[in-house]
Structure 1
Amino acid sequence: MENQNSGKITIVIIGTILLLIIVFYNSGMTYGTQKDDSIIDDNTVITTSIEYLDGTETVQRSDGKDLTSTPNGSTKSSSTANVATMGELNALKKATEYLNVMHFSKKGLKEQLLFGKFTESEAEYAVTKLDIDWKLQAVGKAQDYLNSMSFSKQELKEQLEFEGFTSDEAKYAVDAVYK
């Protein structure tokens, strides 16, 4: 009995040691892309992307200038348009967080971002960059309303429009929930 228990303990100890070795070994390795964001000031963000698989390293700046180095040491400079500022990226992240919790119209989401003290351009960037079907957001909002209270079709459409949905989005939603 004692040999059987000591054998199990030995296996557990060896397994734990192997697991720790694997974790420590992998914690220092990056297999694909590594990203690091550094802020120079409120308007300039440098994003470094290191592609270890092909040996390139690209430094992107929000001012539109890129510097790419290759494994042989040569560098080339290029210009890119519209690399996001930290404020724009944060607005986009916050917009996504809001949409994970509740349904919004494009207008309503932008107003919520503005209420959260994002600038007009940051809020506009966020709602423009999102890949959202606003008609489906309207359907979700309509269903939310119907789950909590009763509405006539017309009243529900007007409520959705009040929330910032377009007339087409509101009509689509009402038609969808009243099938």
Structure 2
Amino acid sequence: MVHDFAYGAIGFAKEKPRSFLAEKGAKEVGIELYTLSKTYNMAGWRVAFAAGNAEMIEALNLLQDHLYVSLFPAIQDAAAAALIESQETVQTQNERYRARKDAFFQAAKRIGWNGSVPDGSFFAWMKVPDGYTSSRFARLLLDEAGVAVADGSGFGEFGEGYVRIGLLVSEERLVEAVNRIGNLPIFQKKC
């Protein structure tokens, strides 16, 4: 078992995301992967680690040794500092994502657009209105509202029927985007 725990530090619900390795016997059957890209804004730096089953970790080390070269030392130093220094910035960032999520979903509710409210991610998965594919709806939002979203079908068969929205800009920009979408004759406004 390989558990991707990339969003492990990002959580809005009362119960924080749970590590696979917290389960009894997990280390015997699998590993958990964690990237610093989400928690510490190190996207593209390719800094991550794995923990868990010793044999699986050894196999990863073998692949790593033969396929990749080491990271630039300054990136390694920055990653180490991120992990061992104060984690106050992680909490601050979580609160920022929570505020963005709340602002986005409140605005979406006002225009009658429903989606899955994330408990621990900075992405919103929003249902595509009847009569649209994910691709067609994403194109409409870009062309008619000037709002870029990710076509859900690009994430596999279960993504069809949805678009993914990154909650990575200010609350004001997210509300502005929803208001632009609300100006299109698509949804039944709630209030």
TM value normalised by structure 1: 0.28
- Comparing both chains, which one has the higher relative contact order based on Cα–Cα distances under 8 Å and sequence gaps of 6 or more? 2
Kindly name which structure, 1 or 2, has the bigger radius of gyration based on alpha carbons.
Answer: 1
**More strand, by proportion:** 1
